[in-house]
A = this chain, B = another copy of it.
Amino acid sequence: MSDAQKSGGNANANAPKKGGNDNLKLPTRTENFSEWYNELVKRAKLADNSDVRGSMVIRPNGYAIWEHMQRALDDMFKETGHQNAYFPVLIPERYLAQEKKHVADFAPQVAVVTHAGGKPLPEGERYVIRPTSETIINRSFTNWVQSYRDLPILINQWANVMRWEMRPRLFLRTTEFLWQEGHTCHATEADATEETLRMLDVYERFAHDFMAMPVIKGQKTESEKFPGAVNTYSIEAMMQDKKALQAGTSHMLGQNFAKMFDTMYQSKEGKKEYVWQTSWGVSTRLIGALIMTHSDDQGLVVPPKLAPHQVVIIIIGKGDERGPVKAKAQAMAADMKKAGIRVLIDDDETKGPGFKYAEYELRGVCLRVEMGPKDLEKNQVVIARRDAKPAAPGERAPKDFVAVDAAVAFCGKALEDMQSSLFKRALEFQRANTFEVNSIDELKARQDDGFLLAHWDGTPETEKRFKDEFQLTTRNRPFDLKQEPGKCVLTGAPSNGRIVLCKAY
């Protein structure tokens, strides 16, 4: 920070934005969080609705976030020994029927192909578009696994899946979404459990290190399990409206699918055994989680590691003044690229700086470098950080004046700071909005206040009452919570520990 002076109260930096465009203004989060989210997604050009029920178009600014997520996750999957593969998008309708719980849960949600190649398909040869791929992948595993020497099989698939949605919302709940689904086979139950928890840890690490989003790791209840799983574990995040969002799940499938599809191996002792399996996934829903964790009333805020553009250099000035500024901007951008920074130059003369500042804030570029002839006379640039907050309400957020030669290093450092600062801020928010509740009155008073740690008697009946009477769902039983026996907050019946309750997406 030695090359930079903080300019907190500086009149110039705080001048009103010239040419600001009211069309870019969002509803505020406190006014209407839901409207704020919907408008932000559209105006920041992240995604659009389409003419296909509940399906979205992911625009370049949104898709670039997904690409960065994919790259980071894919690297982590490969480090943990997984390989990618690809399985058909269509699944024979009869497969789904092989796992009872699976079919009961997914049948009402699937899209069915009944005609193909210009003809109706015979009744028994219809297909559904995959809502998830346990069945069709197990069909392959059955062919691939012979002996204990073939195990473990550690597969991941990047794919589109489809679950017909009645109340769709961009990124959060769409008929078609993009995801990855891991599917693995193991020789023993212990190996499968270890894998299930290993991948939950990978998700936690990804959420923390890349999304700057703190999550609670834990086990789902019996009624919230994946259809066909023995155990489901999740990471749960808190959005800025204090609602929970399930950000990833990892399932220990036991031998359920193996038994349906006869997925067996010959053990060292020569015995035929069913494999033990896991599956785990995260989806484009994470983009919705990212938005609702960090963004503000000005628009999108993205942690630098996932930002489509980390820096925008805005060229200021009129007519002939711009030439030398542009040359300097291009040199600086070239240096930034060498330093691995994703940078953009804006040289559009038809729009004013104020309009542009608002636009790049809306679109979530992490750092804005303002460069004009007067700045260059002083051999400096002005740098604004997307997550900077004003010192006092009504004031402008501070900017930095940085020597031209120091700008690249400054930006590198600022991006690192921003990454960790966003995580810290989100973690503080989550902690400040997590409460123990020990009575029905407390539960009622706190029902909109965030994560509620409550004793529960473990019955689905009480779980249903949480939902019906308080709109609260059980999120998970956190691993990191020291558990002690107590009494259920609703029924007073014995409880062997606390669970997280929250309104949820």
- B117, B178, B348: which contacts A164 (Cβ < 8 A)? B117
Contact with B along A76-93 (1 / 0, CB 8 A): 000000011111111110
Check if A88 sits within 8 Å of B350, measured CB to CB: no
- B50, B59, B85: which contacts A57 (Cβ < 8 A)? B85
A56: chain B residues at CB < 8 Å are 88
In the complex, how many angstroms separate the beta carbon of A76 from the nearest chain B beta carbon?
A: 15
Instruction: Closest B residue to A159 by CB, please name it.
Output: B160
Check if A166 sits within 8 Å of B111, measured CB to CB: no
Q: How far is the CA of A348 from the CA of B149 in the complex (A)?
A: 10
- B84, B110, B114: which contacts A60 (Cβ < 8 A)? B84
Check if B107 sits within 8 Å of A83, measured CB to CB: no
The yes or no answer to A7 lying at the interface (CB within 8 A) is no
Give the contact stretch, choosing among A135-143, A193-201, A377-385, A472-480.
A135-143
Check if B139 sits within 8 Å of A51, measured CB to CB: yes
The yes or no answer to A112 lying at the interface (CB within 8 A) is yes
A116: chain B residues at CB < 8 Å are 53, 110-112, 164
Instruction: Closest B residue to A71 by CB, please name it.
Output: B71
Q: How far is the CA of A88 from the CA of B84 in the complex (A)?
A: 23
The yes or no answer to A442 lying at the interface (CB within 8 A) is no
- B83, B139, B160, B164: which contacts A89 (Cβ < 8 A)? B160
Check if B83 sits within 8 Å of A58, measured CB to CB: no
Check if A118 sits within 8 Å of B127, measured CB to CB: no
Check if A118 sits within 8 Å of B108, measured CB to CB: yes
The yes or no answer to A172 lying at the interface (CB within 8 A) is no
- Known interface pairs A143-B48, A155-B60. Does A55 touch B90 (Cβ–Cβ under 8 Å)? yes
**Chain A residues touching B, majority SS:** mixed
In the complex, how many angstroms separate the beta carbon of A252 from the nearest chain B beta carbon?
A: 23
In the complex, how many angstroms separate the beta carbon of A153 from the nearest chain B beta carbon?
A: 9
- Known interface pairs A112-B114, A113-B113. Does A162 touch B89 (Cβ–Cβ under 8 Å)? yes
Q: How far is the CA of A143 from the CA of B51 in the complex (A)?
A: 12
A264: chain B residues at CB < 8 Å are none
In the complex, how many angstroms separate the beta carbon of A422 from the nearest chain B beta carbon?
A: 25
Instruction: Closest B residue to A87 by CB, please name it.
Output: B57
A176: chain B residues at CB < 8 Å are 88-90
The yes or no answer to A26 lying at the interface (CB within 8 A) is no
Check if A90 sits within 8 Å of B52, measured CB to CB: yes
- Known interface pairs A85-B57, A90-B52. Does A115 touch B114 (Cβ–Cβ under 8 Å)? yes
Q: How far is the CA of A108 from the CA of B139 in the complex (A)?
A: 29
The yes or no answer to A38 lying at the interface (CB within 8 A) is no
Indicate the member of A88, A95, A143 with the most B CB atoms within 10 Å.
A88
- For chain A, the bracket of interface size reads 35 or more
A87: chain B residues at CB < 8 Å are 50, 57-58
The yes or no answer to A222 lying at the interface (CB within 8 A) is no
Q: How far is the CA of A52 from the CA of B59 in the complex (A)?
A: 31
A164: chain B residues at CB < 8 Å are 116-118
Check if B90 sits within 8 Å of A57, measured CB to CB: no
Contact with B along A336-373 (1 / 0, CB 8 A): 00000000000010100000000000000000000000
A53: chain B residues at CB < 8 Å are 116, 125
- B110, B117, B125, B162: which contacts A109 (Cβ < 8 A)? B117
In the complex, how many angstroms separate the beta carbon of A261 from the nearest chain B beta carbon?
A: 11
A136: chain B residues at CB < 8 Å are 50-52
A115: chain B residues at CB < 8 Å are 111-112, 114
In the complex, how many angstroms separate the beta carbon of A160 from the nearest chain B beta carbon?
A: 5
A57: chain B residues at CB < 8 Å are 85-88, 140
The yes or no answer to A67 lying at the interface (CB within 8 A) is yes
In the complex, how many angstroms separate the beta carbon of A107 from the nearest chain B beta carbon?
A: 7
The yes or no answer to A63 lying at the interface (CB within 8 A) is yes
Check if B83 sits within 8 Å of A60, measured CB to CB: yes
Q: How far is the CA of A292 from the CA of B110 in the complex (A)?
A: 39
In the complex, how many angstroms separate the beta carbon of A286 from the nearest chain B beta carbon?
A: 14
- B64, B84, B108, B350: which contacts A63 (Cβ < 8 A)? B84
Check if A117 sits within 8 Å of B108, measured CB to CB: yes
Check if A140 sits within 8 Å of B48, measured CB to CB: yes
A110: chain B residues at CB < 8 Å are 116
In the complex, how many angstroms separate the beta carbon of A425 from the nearest chain B beta carbon?
A: 30
Known: A60-B85, A109-B118. 15 other contacts (CB 8 A): A48-B140, A51-B139, A52-B88, A52-B90, A55-B89, A60-B83, A63-B83, A86-B178, A89-B129, A107-B118, A109-B117, A111-B127, A112-B114, A149-B350, A159-B160
Top 3 nearest A-B pairs by Cβ distance? Answer: A117-B164, A60-B83, A112-B115
13 A-B pairs within 8 Å (CB atoms) are namely A50-B140, A51-B92, A53-B125, A56-B88, A57-B86, A58-B85, A60-B85, A64-B83, A64-B84, A90-B162, A111-B115, A114-B115, A160-B160
